[in-house]
Chain A
Amino acid sequence: MSETLLSVQGLTKRFRLRRSLGEFVTRRPGDSALAVDHVSFDLAKGEILGLAGGSGSGKTTLARMLIRLVEPDEGVITVDGRSVRDARGHELREIRRRMQMVFQDPYSSLNPRMTVGTAILEAGRVHHQPGSDDGDAFVSKFLDLVRLPASMAVRHPSELSGGQRQRVAVARALAIGPEVLIADEAVSALDVSIQTQLLNLFLDLRDELGLAILFVAHQLSVIAEVADRVAIMHLGVIVEIGATAEVFHHPQDEYTKSLLASHPQPVPLDASREIRICE
């Protein structure tokens, strides 16, 4: 479990802002916003790392840089000791195969004209996954992994609920055989009862496949449920990182404290009064 799979050092991203007319005329460079500022962390095999922070804290930019959907400006990312930033062509594809991403909105991340089965199979075939020549078996294997019936394969995304779509998005990511799953607010748009099912699924996948998961979420309580360690981001910087219980029960940073204090938690259930239904 302590074997480091993904290592990030000093990762930085600046977004250039639009130049003002004055800057344009005088050919001065425009201002830039520092979205992610020298961030470092490690992710071990089979570990779930939570990444929390307010909106605009840079957590999505950080997640996207890991698979180079956003090009970093500075820093080092390595997977199993191989540099992600220097990878080109075949090597980059291989790195993206090893790290897959699940996005927040399952309505826009699936192709509406492709059936569930086609989407999963296509992902597997593109990356020459073993077993992908036998379409039906391949598809049902991954649907089963995300606890969906094999009969789902012929459906289109529009026929599915939000929770089912998110499962399909996870199945498609898994079909490529990744070692790291990056879940960017993957449960944020779901109802509470469906959210629970997905959180359990992520825990199961970690246990069954030994996946490492970077779990990005703005809801601290969701991270508390699944993450082994948590990193708190604020204004592009990781202000605190450590074991989830340690950070949540003994926060050191002021920003972490304010986040925890703002979290709305309903009054706990009175355990002595079980609901009773006659037989």
Chain B
Amino acid sequence: MSLLKIENLRIAFPARGGITEVVRGVNLEVHEGETVGLVGESGSGKSLSCRSIIRLLPSHAQMTANVHFDGRDVMALSRKAIRDHRAHNVGMIFQDPFSCFNPTKRIGEQVAETLRVNAGMDKSAARARAIELLASVEIDRPEQRYRAFPHELSGGMRQRVMIAIAISAGPRLLIADEPTTALDVTTQAQILKLIEQRRRDLNMAVLLVSHDFGVIAQACQRVAVMYGGYVVEAGPVDEICARPQHPYTRALLESIPSLESAGHHVRRAGIPGQPPTAGEIGPGCPFANRCAFARPECAGVDMSLEVVGDAHATACPFVRTVSATSEAGGA
């Protein structure tokens, strides 16, 4: 069943001489209990897209979309209702687990505060529950850690406390925006494992945003690849990694450095040029100027996703026609 459904999400900012659109008609669906990845380079619109789910956007952003969470229209919610939505339905964790805490308050109290405000617990119940939550995110000696200040914890520990706060209300969806980018690989693996465990135990869905395809491949079942404000390809992770159907996805996967290269230097082709800034994107495919397969018709592509396989869709119409005709012809 569909827990979250975003249709035709557009986000724009006022700019010199008009507005600049940074998210250009994104569709995204998250089913109950599944982990969906959102992958893309900086400026692709992935963070803004996931923030739109709880309408956590800068005040000057202009957002239009149909966002339905569990059947309810998120865009129609009043200010009070959106607070409830943020408090009870959706938990969110961010890249930088330091700036999210109040540096002058003990971390346990910050967990308990969330419980008192959102769940209406009294002080001692909130404290007891906060210690339980800290234990559930595998912080050892939670009674002592309760009294620690944010600066006394390592990055991985702080991210664990963030997760504890985010899941304190038993949300249906956890949004994790680059949760491991600031962490070591070993800590990263632990945090991803923890998120997966909590997801199973609490039966919540997870929307994982990352620039790292490795992280996405490890943690998610489905993925949407973003570029220049569009979703250019979406489908099952294994399928997309093995058989990408958009030239951008393929070029991105081929750019990823690999441990297998040890001992023989590979010079990867990479992607020439650089990602476009929002103001530079015109009509048609935003990847055309960097694409090895670009052609004049690319300027007329409408970037809607067309299904090419089992739940696998791509925005590049040229890839599709080719594989379809060659397979039909038995070539």
Distance to closest chain B CB from A96 (angstroms): 29
Restricting to A208-247, which residues have a CB under 8 Å from any CB of B? 218-222, 224-226, 230, 243-247
Distance to closest chain A CB from B242 (angstroms): 4
Decide if B265 touches A225 in the complex (CB within 8 Å).
yes
Chain A residue, CB-CB nearest to B180: A264
Decide if A224 touches B255 in the complex (CB within 8 Å).
no
Q: A226-B265, A267-B241 are in contact. Are A220 and B274 (CB under 8 A)?
A: no
Interface size on B, residues (CB 8 A): 60
Chain B residue, CB-CB nearest to A196: B270
Decide if A244 touches B293 in the complex (CB within 8 Å).
no
Chain B residue, CB-CB nearest to A244: B262
Decide if B262 touches A266 in the complex (CB within 8 Å).
no
Q: A195-B257, A265-B258 are in contact. Are A277 and B293 (CB under 8 A)?
A: yes
B249-265 vs A, CB cutoff 8 Å, 1 = contact: the mask equals: 01111111111111111
Interface membership of A203, Cβ < 8 A: yes
Distance to closest chain A CB from B255 (angstroms): 5
Return the contact of B185 from the options A192, A224, A263 (Cβ within 8 A).
Answer: A263
Interface membership of A134, Cβ < 8 A: no
Decide if B184 touches A192 in the complex (CB within 8 Å).
no
Interface membership of B247, Cβ < 8 A: yes
Chain A residue, CB-CB nearest to B267: A200
Restricting to A245-279, which residues have a CB under 8 Å from any CB of B? 245-249, 258-270, 273, 275-278
- CA distance in complex: A258, B184 (Å): 12
Decide if A275 touches B186 in the complex (CB within 8 Å).
no
Number of A-B contacts (CB under 8 A): 156
Q: A224-B261, A278-B322 are in contact. Are A266 and B253 (CB under 8 A)?
A: yes
Decide if B270 touches A193 in the complex (CB within 8 Å).
yes
Restricting to A35-82, which residues have a CB under 8 Å from any CB of B? 54-55
Return the contact of B257 from the options A194, A225, A244, A273 (Cβ within 8 A).
Answer: A225
Decide if B188 touches A200 in the complex (CB within 8 Å).
no
Q: Which residues of B contact A244 (CB under 8 A)?
A: 262-263
Interface residues on A, range: 35 or more
A and B contact pairs by CB, cutoff 8 A, 11 listed: A199-B257, A199-B268, A225-B265, A225-B268, A243-B263, A248-B259, A248-B262, A260-B259, A264-B215, A269-B241, A270-B242
- CA distance in complex: A218, B325 (Å): 45
- CA distance in complex: A268, B275 (Å): 24
Interface membership of B244, Cβ < 8 A: yes
List 13 extra interface pairs beyond A224-B259, A264-B189, CB under 8 A.
A54-B187, A192-B212, A193-B251, A193-B252, A193-B271, A196-B270, A221-B259, A225-B258, A247-B262, A267-B217, A270-B243, A275-B293, A277-B247
Return the contact of B270 from the options A164, A197, A248, A269 (Cβ within 8 A).
Answer: A197
Interface membership of B211, Cβ < 8 A: yes
Q: A197-B270, A218-B184, A278-B321 are in contact. Are A264 and B257 (CB under 8 A)?
A: no
Decide if B41 touches A192 in the complex (CB within 8 Å).
yes
Decide if B263 touches A245 in the complex (CB within 8 Å).
yes
Q: A197-B270, A222-B257 are in contact. Are A262 and B293 (CB under 8 A)?
A: no
Restricting to B39-91, which residues have a CB under 8 Å from any CB of A? 41-42
Interface membership of B146, Cβ < 8 A: no
Decide if B258 touches A221 in the complex (CB within 8 Å).
yes
Restricting to B187-235, which residues have a CB under 8 Å from any CB of A? 187-189, 192, 211-218
Q: At the interface, is chain A mostly helix, strand, loop or mixed?
A: helix
Return the contact of A277 from the options B41, B212, B264, B318 (Cβ within 8 A).
Answer: B318
Interface membership of B326, Cβ < 8 A: yes
- CA distance in complex: A278, B268 (Å): 24
Q: Which residues of B contact A246 (CB under 8 A)?
A: 263
Interface membership of A86, Cβ < 8 A: no
Interface membership of B122, Cβ < 8 A: no
Return the contact of A262 from the options B186, B257, B322 (Cβ within 8 A).
Answer: B186
Decide if A54 touches B262 in the complex (CB within 8 Å).
no
Q: A192-B255, A267-B217 are in contact. Are A262 and B189 (CB under 8 A)?
A: yes
Decide if A196 touches B268 in the complex (CB within 8 Å).
yes
Decide if A200 touches B268 in the complex (CB within 8 Å).
yes
Q: A264-B188, A266-B241 are in contact. Are A203 and B267 (CB under 8 A)?
A: yes
Interface membership of B323, Cβ < 8 A: yes
Chain B residue, CB-CB nearest to A204: B267
Q: A221-B259, A260-B259, A266-B256 are in contact. Are A273 and B242 (CB under 8 A)?
A: yes
Chain A residue, CB-CB nearest to B257: A221
B270-282 vs A, CB cutoff 8 Å, 1 = contact: the mask equals: 1110110000000
Decide if A276 touches B218 in the complex (CB within 8 Å).
no
Interface membership of B319, Cβ < 8 A: yes
Distance to closest chain A CB from B229 (angstroms): 15
